[in-house]
Amino acid sequence: MTDILKPRDAKEVEDAVRWALSHDKALEVAGQGSKRAIGRPSQTDITLDLSGLTGVTLYEPAELVLSARAGTPLSEIEALLEKNHQELAFEPMDYGPVLGLKAGQNYTSGTIGGAIAANLSGPRRIKAGAARDHFLGLSAVTGRGETIKSGGRVVKNVTGYDMCKVLAGSWGTLAAMTDVTVKVLPRAETQATVVVEGLDDASACAAMAAAMGSSCDVSAAAHLPDHVASYFDGLPNAEAATALRLEGVAPSVRHRKDALAALLKPFGPVLLLDETESRALWRSVRQVKPFATESARVRPLWRISTAPARGHAVAAAITPAAQMFYDWGGGLIWVAMPFGDEPDAASIRAAVASVGGHATLIRAEAAVRASADVFEPQEPALAALSKRVKDAFDPKGVLNPGRMVAGV
Amino acid sequence: MSVRMPEADGAVLARRAAIVKALRTIVPGEGVIATEREMRPFESDGLTAYRQLPLVVVLPETTKQVSEVLAYCHAEGVKVVPRGAGTSLSGGALPLEDGVLLGMAKFNRIKDIDFANRVAVVEPGVTNLAVSNAVAHAGFYYAPDPSSQIACTIGGNVAENSGGVHCLKYGMTTNNVLGCELVLMNGDVVRLGGKHLDAEGYDLLGLINGSEGLLGVVTEVTVRILQKAETQRAVLIGFPSSEDGGECVSAIIAAGIIPAGMEMMDRPAIHAVEEFVHAGYPLDVEALLIVELDGPQAEVDHLIERVVDIAKQCKSMTCRVSASEQERLLFWAGRKAAFPAVGRISPDYFCMDGTIPRSQLPKVLAAMKDMSAKYGLRCANVFHAGDGNLHPLILYDSNKEGEVERAEEFGAEILKLCVAVGGVLTGEHGVGVEKRDLMPVMFSEIDLNAQQRVKCAFDDKGLLNPGKVFPVLHRCAELGRMHISGGKLPFPDIPRF
Ligand SMILES: Cc1cc2nc3c(=O)[nH]c(=O)nc-3n(C[C@H](O)[C@H](O)[C@H](O)COP(=O)(O)OP(=O)(O)OC[C@H]3O[C@@H](n4cnc5c(N)ncnc54)[C@H](O)[C@@H]3O)c2cc1C
């Protein structure tokens, strides 16, 4: 088992990275390790455990801003916001269940730093964006052992390059974040979901496009085909369900619910979920519930990001033995492959290439992740540019080397 | 002008004729402009205090041409400055004496409108408003709406990460761009993003937004388009002090309402504007707030009522809800004409762009009043109140001895104050040349070097738009060196398992 370094403050993070640099050691950068199983297995000597950097350092609800040490548990931040009728509008999804973390044992939804490093988002991605869109400022220790800051605590800021964006989604390969500032937003007063039943994937994508192209201000759109529908909460029937969420003040939700139901009627039978059912449904979407069961967990899981209206075309090119469902109006497809040790990367990547977008192998045996490309391979010029960006932050490869791309 | 540009490279100036000739083999005909008279219109952008004729102007039409021009300049060590419509207020498109000015105006095609995926794919020379116009027939629009939207280009918007009055609710350019095609200084063409929502590797698209033309030349942009809200209504609220106005803004947000737009003006701005457009603004107030709500009728009516209630509790002196679309547009006509209105009452003005935490508004406004007296220059304020982005307009006359310098000093003092109270130097106009030398107020040398290393990853010779953003330019090789200090673990008592 690897050693663990657990710094107590930002200065100690810098010390740890400098130590690693001068001793030619590679560090695994981790918060609570909830997403450790995502990415290529990194060849590291020591874990840099940032979960000791905790605490909300600034929270001003009327200014819509919150700063915290990067290791602060996401659950703590979400609870604090909820008390003030606010939330992280990017609705971070919860990887715990699909990765097999168990309540009461090793379950955690991770840290705020981890949520940002993985650029988490949820069903509301289509309307509110991902972690990147809410990430305002940071302090971080680069792979050069230098502490940098970027951004600030205000939403509008174009002073210097937007380093927050490039660190969001960099999976700890560029710098170890020590302090982060995020934009927070009011929680919607209420919500409801309009469901069309019985659609095939192509009609579902068309229905979702119609809904999202209307002025109904849809805040989530998912299609749950019949072979997986029964795994989701809040749905009355085990039928294929195309679900559209509406959030806002009560009079508005009421009005839009009727407008949307009328708009969708030509596609198929429409039913309505009340606030409780709606919350339950979207929680299970956020947890990718069908693929979190004991039996599903042994199978490789892909996450495909593509042009939403063409999601069904990507899916059609994938083996019918796979199970799948769509979020983001068809733009995010979760695909569970039929056989444990066979991610079938070539066929998945060919399917995605036919439309455009990319695929990430979110879950597979470590040996499989070590030999397959977990993230989408890039064209040579772009791959070379990404490598140069890695070198700009971490020239010696001390931070999570190889986690995203072999040898980088 | 007080900001110095990098020393011109004598060897490049001496080779001018050969460089022009070589560029003509890449971009034929009128695409290469080399006479002084024809280059004159390109000598400055919206920051007119700074002017410089370029070495030569090149107006490419295809990505291939851009790639060849950049590869040639890379090989020959010639600098390049990209330019869109030249409306930048920070001097981002200011030419260099020894640099090619690469005008992107001929990239003016809308390539694809895809309503099913709610995106438009456009060339960077397309104007901001043209995107909205092209999709309006289906009820769609492109959300970021800088006041310069008739003229400014999408390429410029991406480079500056431009905002508009509606970005409080709908985000800045960076939140509304899904993909781009980018040509690097060495001629490499890369595609970032597309019609899908997130990046597959590092979020380089996020870096390009707001990179001020220093990382690559954008040759295609995929933007998100949205369906227009069913209705929009605005409330015009007058206050006895800016402080009261600021408190009202906080109260609205604290009530859980994020309006589509929330704009404030101070007394000098209100008066300048009213004289110019006759929007019917009250003249006896110290601050005027426009709050716009959009959405379905039921929602807008509901929220307007709550905003009016909040305004009443916030010492408002006047409060008017737009009764018609015409009246709503009239409320906005004043705000949108603020810059030209100020242009009428002063021969010249600088537009500052700091952002502050909103709670600091009263303090900063009071300090600006004192500064205005100290420098003997008038100052009118318009601001994006919802997000604390200030636009103090400093009025001066460049024909009067010493006024430009005083105005610049005044501006710098405002921006330093913005940083001191927890804000930033620029919210949406960019650093450019204008705020370049103030960067150390906000960033340490380590921070700035880290940013320059990112630049090196894109542009190893530092040829793309040098002299902007960074006060001191380092060679990439020098920045790449590493001096590791601290080989010991100075916290021996760390828990190790
Ligand atoms: C009256 C007025 C009102 C304004 N109002 C607003 C406002 O409300 N909000 C706001 O944010 N800004 C505003 N601006 C500022 C300005 O309009 C924006 O910054 C705009 O985005 C600049 O676009 P442009 O096409 O004119 O770019 P330019 O001025 O030509 O260039 C700006 C920068 O972009 C780079 N660039 C241009 N095209 C490309 C390309 N294709 N690839 C790479 N780099 C490129 C240039 O090198 C330069 O650094 C205003 C300006 C004026 C004059």
Residues A179 and A119 in one domain: yes
- Rg of chain B over Cα atoms, rounded to whole angstroms, equals 24
Across the interface, of B172, B196, B447, the residue whose CB is closest to A305 is: B196
Residues 333-372 of chain A with CB under 8 A from chain B are: 356-358, 360
Q: How far is CA A231 from CA A285, A316, A325, B158, in A?
A: 10, 22, 11, 42
Average pLDDT over residues B43-52: 93
Give just the sign of the alpha carbon dihedral B370, B371, B375, B381.
negative
Are residues B226 and B120 in contact, defined by beta-carbon separation less than 8 angstroms? Answer: no
- Residue A400 backbone dihedrals phi, psi, to 5 degrees: 40, 50
Q: What pLDDT is stored for residue B362 in this prediction?
A: 85
The number of domains in chain A is 3
Same domain for A14 and A86:
yes
Statement to judge: residues A117 and A238 lie in one domain = no
Element (H, E) at A12: helix A10-22
Q: Is the pLDDT of residue B56 over 60?
A: yes
What pLDDT, in 10s, does the model give residues B349-388? 999 999 999 889 889 999 999 999 999 999 999 999 999 9
Q: What is the pLDDT of residue A1?
A: 44
Q: Which of residues 461-480 of B touch A (CB under 8 A)?
A: 469, 480
Residues in chain B within 8 Å Cβ distance of A129: 171, 175
Q: What is the C-alpha end-to-end distance of chain A, expressed in Å?
A: 24
| pTM of the complete model | 0.97
* pLDDT of res. B4: 87
What is the DSSP secondary structure assignment for residue A174, as one 8-state letter?
S
Instruction: Count CB atoms within 10 A of the CB of residue A402.
Output: 18
Residues A396, A318 within the same domain: no
The pLDDT value given to residue A407: 87
Same structural domain for residues A239 and A362?
A: no
Q: How sure is the predictor about B407, in pLDDT bands with cuts at 50, 70 and 90?
A: very high
Q: Is the CB of B147 under 6 A from ligand 1?
A: yes
A308 touches chain B (CB under 8 A): yes
Same domain for A10 and A105, yes or no, is yes
Give me ligand 1 centre to Cα B285, in Å.
Answer: 33
Q: Which of residues 103-132 of B touch A (CB under 8 A)?
A: 114-118
Whether the predicted pLDDT of B486 surpasses 90: no
Tell me whether residue B25 is exposed, middle or buried, using C-beta atoms within 10 angstroms of its C-beta: 0 to 12, 13 to 18, 19 or more: exposed
**B212 Cα to the center of ligand 1, angstroms:** 9
What is the per-residue pLDDT across B183-198, written as a single tens digit (0 to 9) for each? 999 999 999 999 999 9
SS3 per residue for B247-260: HHHHHHHHCCCCCC
Is some CB atom of chain B closer than 8 A to the CB atom of A259? yes
**Which CATH number is A15's domain given?**
3.30.465.10
In A, residues 54-83, which contact B (CB 8 Å cutoff)?
Answer: 60-65
d(CA A377, CA A342): 18
* Any B CB within 8 A of A249 CB: yes
All residues of chain A having their beta carbon less than 8 Å from the beta carbon of residue B253 are 62-64, 186
Answer for the pair A242, A265: CB distance below 8 angstroms, yes or no: no
Q: Is A3 helix (H, G, I), strand (E, B) or coil?
A: strand
The HSE-up count of residue B179 (CA atoms within 13 Å, CB side) is 22
- In this model, does residue B212 exceed pLDDT 90? yes
Of the CA atoms within 13 Å of residue B223, those in its CB half-sphere come to 36
φ, ψ (nearest 5 deg) of residue A247? -130, 150
User: Last residue of some domain: A239, A256, A286?
Assistant: A286
Do residues A136 and A161 share a domain?
yes
The answer on A205 and A176 residing in a single domain is no
Identify the pLDDT of residue A57: 98
Mean per-residue pLDDT for B313-321? 96
Residue B3: pLDDT band (50, 70, 90) is confident
Within this chain, do residues A9 and A94 fall inside the same structural domain, yes or no? yes
Residue B493, pLDDT above cutoff 70: no
Per the prediction, chain B carries an average pLDDT of 95
SS3 A358: strand
pLDDT band at B175 (very low <50, low <70, confident <90, very high): very high
Q: Are residues A133 and A220 in the same domain?
A: no
Pairwise CA distance, residues A365 & A337, whole Å? 13
Q: Is the CB of B91 under 6 A from ligand 1?
A: no
Query: Which pLDDT does position B497 carry in this prediction?
Result: 38
Q: Using CA atoms, how far apart are residues A64 and A86, in angstroms rounded to an integer? A: 9
Is residue A226 located within the same domain as residue A100?
A: no
Instruction: Establish, for the pair of chains A and B, how many residue pairs have beta carbons separated by less than 8 Å.
Output: 310
Judging contacts by C-beta atoms under 8 Å, the chain A residues touching residue B197 are: 125-126, 130, 305, 328, 331-332
Q: How far is A333 from chain B (nearest CA, A)?
A: 11
Query: Is the CB of residue B157 less than 8 Å away from at least one CB of chain A?
Result: no
User: Which of A286, A303, A329 is the last residue in one of the domains?
Assistant: A286
Give B483's pLDDT tier (boundaries 50, 70, 90): confident
Q: Which atom of ligand 1 is nearest to the CA of B219?
A: 41
- Among residues A54, A55, A19, A49, which one has the least CA distance to residue A36? A49
Domain that holds residue A26: 1-187+378-408
B125 Cβ below 6 A of ligand 1: no
pLDDT (tens place) for every residue of chain A, 408 residues total: 468 999 999 999 999 999 999 999 999 999 999 999 999 998 899 999 999 999 999 999 999 999 999 999 999 999 999 999 999 999 999 999 999 999 888 899 999 999 999 999 999 999 999 999 999 999 999 999 999 999 999 999 999 999 999 999 999 999 999 999 999 999 999 999 999 999 999 999 999 999 999 999 999 999 999 999 999 999 999 999 999 999 999 999 999 999 999 999 999 999 999 999 999 999 999 999 999 999 999 999 999 999 999 999 999 999 999 999 999 999 999 999 999 889 999 999 999 999 999 999 999 999 999 998 999 999 999 999 999 999 999 999 999 999 999 988
In this structure, are residues A88 and A76 in contact, taking their beta carbons and an 8 Å threshold? no
Per DSSP (E only), the strands in B296-360 are: 318-321, 348-351
Question: DSSP letter at B171?
Answer: -
B256 touching chain A per CB within 8 A: yes
Ligand 1 geometric centre to CA of A13 (Å): 39
Tell me, what's the pLDDT at B44?
A: 96
Please indicate if any CB of chain A lies within 8 Å of the CB of B487: yes
- β-bridge pairing A27-30 and A46-49: parallel
Residue B233 has pLDDT above 70, yes or no: yes
B450 at A interface, C-beta within 8 A: yes
- A88 and A12, same domain (yes or no): yes
- Ligand 1 pocket residue status of B144, Cβ below 6 Å: no
Q: What is the pLDDT of residue A6?
A: 95
- Ligand 1 center–CA B86 separation, angstroms: 6
Q: How confident is the model at residue B71 (pLDDT cuts 50, 70, 90)?
A: very high
CATH at residue A254: 3.30.70.2190
CATH number at residue A324: 3.30.70
